[in-house]
Structure 1
């Protein structure tokens, strides 16, 4: 992947990934009212804005925190999805930007169906919505006369498109270039065939408390596990058919017997829930105390976001405790200066990394502060 960095960067800011920006001047200079700007979304639909977006409603869950990182503030977010708001409440963005806690969040249902009346009341000039959830989630908004930026989900390429699109829509192409260059620099350190003495088996659970759901083919979680040189049993030789998050029973997990279990941030499960479960007691991950809650920073680290390079490093260190000597806490601090113009405290770093609830899991001392 190292040799794709420059090519990917050029495609992203050009025609390849969407996010086409037409404006007067260069850098982050705002276009004139007469010139406006154009953004081509992931549907292939070209949107024309008279000026950079000033009031944005975000419905896709990762979109709010990504927009905050591009803009380094919350002043242009008029509304967001409930799940985005919950992540801000549970994470540290609510501390960094207290006004984020007051942003309206009754804009859509859990299935992303928009609450058009609520959205209209926010007087937005741009709505960010999924473009791959069927026409029923976009058409009601466009029928109401609203401008909708459509996103697709799941791949690294999609994530890079989001960054370029948001930077374009906000009139900050230079900021988008900086974010992409930083991500590509991180990505260049990894290869799809990372050499490890052993490739641990890592199972990601999107849900635990009310039925098990695992990441299968064409999920970002599967991509990340393979990126850092581990294997996902749900997509291996004895894995599942189909794509996305799939329901499984404990018998299937026992058959896979993963080395590592990752608990996502879409329910409240913690490692102790797994360690205390009689059903899980014979799994290798439990015997070796290798169950970990995925970090929650500016957004959940499970799905793709601008913080994904931090997830890649955390995942690699969890996969092989002691093999990598890397100061992830220092990298988080540096990243948060860049994303949020914020100096992260030691207590905040502990919260991001779930240091308290992961403390009983093997090797987690590598993430502790001095």
Structure 2
């Protein structure tokens, strides 16, 4: 399989518990594997060709044909699938509506193609259990959650998660609110460009920095422009974890993201249950667990060390 949507490569590896059926992937998928945990768990994945599409998912048809794949996984937009189909390639189109049901569907499709339907049932059952647990935690609180703003891009132009994004889904799942989708939010859906003045007006209480650029909490803490934002004043700016894949978009490690976001949004339990849950979840997903140093890297312990309540994730 060649996978062009960025979450698809690591998701395929998780379903298969192997990189053996991955014959090509998007460069951004490969970078996440190189910089995250996946490349350590499955080093052969880093040998897979990854120059097969542009940043906007336009396929390099000749490069893909040279790999002779049985199937190419692509976003379901006809402009992205037709060049591949016209070249005689078999294409599986994925849709993304910003909901957990998308991930469930992707897992089911991959499981069927790999001849492992039981794997989809197991992964969905575990994810559903965590979804129910996180929802119960959120509904059981007596106080409203913080305003949480997710930056898909920070350096070189600001882009925030708006309506229809998976980030908006999990912000609200844990009991937070997203100023970008409030009455004074942005028009449009997905990742939407904003200016500094808009963010200052929203005054978010928590800021999440995604893994699609190099922005770090210290960039905001040291910049006078951001000093009046509540998230900066109270040191509640966090780099989102990078595990087997980036935790900010939808994927197989999303249940871990829900727990992480719950813990930084509603700090209280020390230590957090997240660190103890990661090895077990990784054994379930990948058949092997990260060590303590790898968990530190995954959670950006050093990068986030100056942010409030992050010691809850520290190992013994």
- Give the TM-score taking structure 2 as reference length: 0.97
For the residue of structure 1 that corresponds to 2:92, the secondary structure is strand
Runs of 4+ in 1 over 2 A off after TM superposition: 190-196, 323-326
Structure 2 counterpart of 1:93: 38
CA–CA separation in structure 1 for the residues paired with 2:175 and 2:64 = 43
Output the aligned Cα RMSD. Answer: 1.2
**1:152-203: per-residue Cα shift (whole Å, max 9, x none)?**
0122111110011110111100111111111111111133963432311100
Matches within 5 A, 1:40-79: 56-79=1-24
In 1, are the aligned partners of 2:271 and 2:313 still within 8 Å (CA)? no
In 2, are the aligned partners of 1:194 and 1:227 still within 8 Å (CA)? no
Structure 2 counterpart of 1:346: 292
The yes-or-no answer on 1:189 pairing with 2:133 is yes
Matches within 5 A, 1:193-212: 194-196=139-141, 197-212=143-158
For the residue of structure 2 that corresponds to 1:86, the secondary structure is helix
**1:4-38: per-residue Cα shift (whole Å, max 9, x none)?**
xxxxxxxxxxxxxxxxxxxxxxxxxxxxxxxxxxx
In 1, are the aligned partners of 2:270 and 2:312 still within 8 Å (CA)? no
Structure 2 counterpart of 1:331: 277
CA–CA separation in structure 1 for the residues paired with 2:45 and 2:309 = 35
Structure 2 counterpart of 1:241: 187
Deviation at 1:324, TM superposition (A): 7.3
Q: Which has the larger radius of gyration?
A: 1
Deviation at 1:282, TM superposition (A): 0.9
Structure 1 counterpart of 2:123: 179
Structure 2 counterpart of 1:322: 268
> Number of matched residues?
313
Which one has the bigger helix percentage? 2
- Report the more deviating stretch, 240-249 or 301-310: 240-249
For the residue of structure 1 that corresponds to 2:135, the secondary structure is coil
Task: Give the gaps of 5 or more residues in structure 1.
Answer: 1-55
Structure 2 counterpart of 1:159: 103
The yes-or-no answer on 1:120 pairing with 2:65 is yes
For the residue of structure 2 that corresponds to 1:138, the secondary structure is helix
Structure 1 counterpart of 2:28: 83
